[in-house]
Amino acid sequence: MCKTYEVGFMTENSLKKLVDQAMTGGDPSRWPNKMRVRDRVNLLLDQDSFTEDGLLANALGEGYPADGVVTGIGTIFGRSVAVIAHDFSVKAGSWGAMTCEKQIRILERAYQDLLPVVYLVDSAGGRLTDQMGFFPGRRGASRIFALQVALSGRVPQICCLLGPSAAGGAYMPAFTDWVGMVEGNASMYLASPRVAEKVTGEISTLEEMGGAMMHASVSGCGDEVFSQDWELISAARLLLSYLPQSYESESVRTAPEGPKVTDWSGEVIPSDPGVAYDIRDLISRLVDRDTFFEIKARWAKEMVTGLARLDGRVVGLVANQPEVNSGAIFVDSADKAARFITLCDAFNIPLIFLQDVPGFMVGVDVEHQGIIRHGAKMIAAMASAEVPKFTVIVRKAYAAGYYAMCAPGFGPRAILALPTAMIGTMAPDASANAVYAGKLAEIENDCEREAFLAEKIAEQSSESSLLHMASGLVVDAVIDGPQLRNELIRRMRDADGWQRYPKSRHHPVFPV
């Protein structure tokens, strides 16, 4: 006799009940300072543009609305994007089997259809009651990370870290192109302070271990800190407006606007290379008004990186910051520049280098930290970038810092120089002291020694002078400050037809 099965049909009322439960989520009252997950999604996307997948995931389970994650596709400024949004009110946004499956499916869709991905992360990590579901198998967390790596450089990936991202889940933000964090709510760590104390005996707070300000200013894992959910989500929307839909396209051009500051009177760039100034004062005179979107502003401050618009075109800016450590390149600032250059090259964004650099930092500490290796990483990233590159020598351009900031041998479309520019292996006074150290030691008379040194410094200054460099075709043009913006616009327009080279290898073996 054949076995019979009872078929359970879903009524309109039962369906409505399940949908309402899934849409409502859990109880968010423990987190009064957080927006609910669907409010976050609605704020991120254009109105009524969201198509959700997997709303009834794990509907047979008790207390797992949508299994703690909202996934689907919507639009931002009319462009389709994939969305992953963790629901902190459902088991603290933890990942189970269906949570992983939903994220995997939307990432696979993003890969197939070349969709940028926005992650609204707020998760306690893997659901320990469902380890078989999220941890060891082919469709668990490891598959999510594999897809993120596959998507890297293929489509933009933006992370809004609105709560915790714990343990292995901390790698989800790490694989994205930009991470914004909400102060007081966002955190990212491989082990909580409690676990770390048991393992190492170290006592720390959550903010010290993985808080927003720590990651934005110390570790470099975070790009910016925001005070509210809505501020971060608005910034993510703005950032996407600078990025193309995928590696196959270019950023959308907008109507040109003039720069925020047009006044060049006074000494905008001090002629004395020892006098500090804020490189952003120059940037505000070059790019379209209020378009500079700085990236990692709180970390490695001796290097300034960010996206902007120049005559409506999106450009990437890599600039030394004389206001901090004289603009010298440290381990972290080399990493910061390398990461940003790679981002711009991946998404067809031309690069402008603003040089005012005394070189890489020297000393025992930085050598122990691997300054050579990290400097090589920056140079490799810059040399490998195929997008049009333009270099502006603002003031000092010394030693290997000159190379790392896109010297002539690395193929920039043009080397432009302001009248304050000076190029050399090192500063003239340092060079003279090094070259003539023995001779200076032999001169016993102080006045004679000073006169000899002054003469040699003048000789060194002449050799590294701007006229000397222009005469030898090291620089392509010497431009007064007020003309620099228009010069860059013209030269960038001339490079509109640029193309990438045919591939001749799998990939270089970069320093790490």
- Bridge partners, residue 75, by sequence: 80
* 6 has a pLDDT exceeding 50: no
Q: What mean pLDDT value characterizes the chain? A: 94
Residue type at position 306: G
Domains and CATH numbers, the chain: 20-242 (3.90.226.10), 279-421+475-494 (3.90.226.10)
What is residue 81's three-state secondary structure?
strand
* Band of pLDDT at residue 4, cut at 50, 70 and 90: very low
Residue type at position 284: S
The phi and psi torsions of 84 (rounded to 5 degrees) equal: -125, 120
Cα-Cα end-to-end distance for the chain:
68
The phi and psi torsions of 348 (rounded to 5 degrees) equal: 60, 35
pLDDT tens sequence across 204-219: 999 999 999 999 999 9
Q: What number of other Cβ atoms are within 10 A of residue 473's Cβ?
A: 9
Strand locations in 167-287 (E):
178-182, 187-189, 224-226
CA angle at residue 81 from 80 to 86, to 5 degrees? 145
d(CA 190, CA 195): 10
Q: What number of other Cβ atoms are within 10 A of residue 88's Cβ?
A: 27
Contact at 8 Å (CB) between 119 and 158? Answer: yes
DSSP state of 202: -
Contact residues for 386 (Cβ-Cβ < 8 A; gap 6+): 345, 498, 500, 501
d(CA 373, CA 106): 37
Count of residues in the chain: 512
Give the range among 112-121, 191-200, 419-428, 452-461 with minimum mean pLDDT. 452-461
What confidence score (pLDDT) does residue 3 get?
46
Higher-pLDDT residue of 376, 274: 376
pLDDT tens sequence across 301-333: 999 999 999 999 999 999 999 999 999 999 999
What confidence score (pLDDT) does residue 8 get?
64
* 2 has a pLDDT exceeding 70: no
* Band of pLDDT at residue 366, cut at 50, 70 and 90: very high
- Bridge partners, residue 354, by sequence: 319, 392
Residue type at position 124: A
d(CA 272, CA 45): 49
* Band of pLDDT at residue 1, cut at 50, 70 and 90: very low
DSSP state of 211: B
Contact at 8 Å (CB) between 479 and 297? Answer: no
| Arithmetic mean of pLDDT, 455-463 | 78
| Arithmetic mean of pLDDT, 391-401 | 96
pLDDT tens sequence across 93-113: 999 999 999 999 999 999 999
d(CA 215, CA 173): 12
pLDDT tens sequence across 151-169: 999 999 999 999 999 888 8
Higher-pLDDT residue of 170, 430: 170
> What's the distance, CA 134 to chain centroid?
29
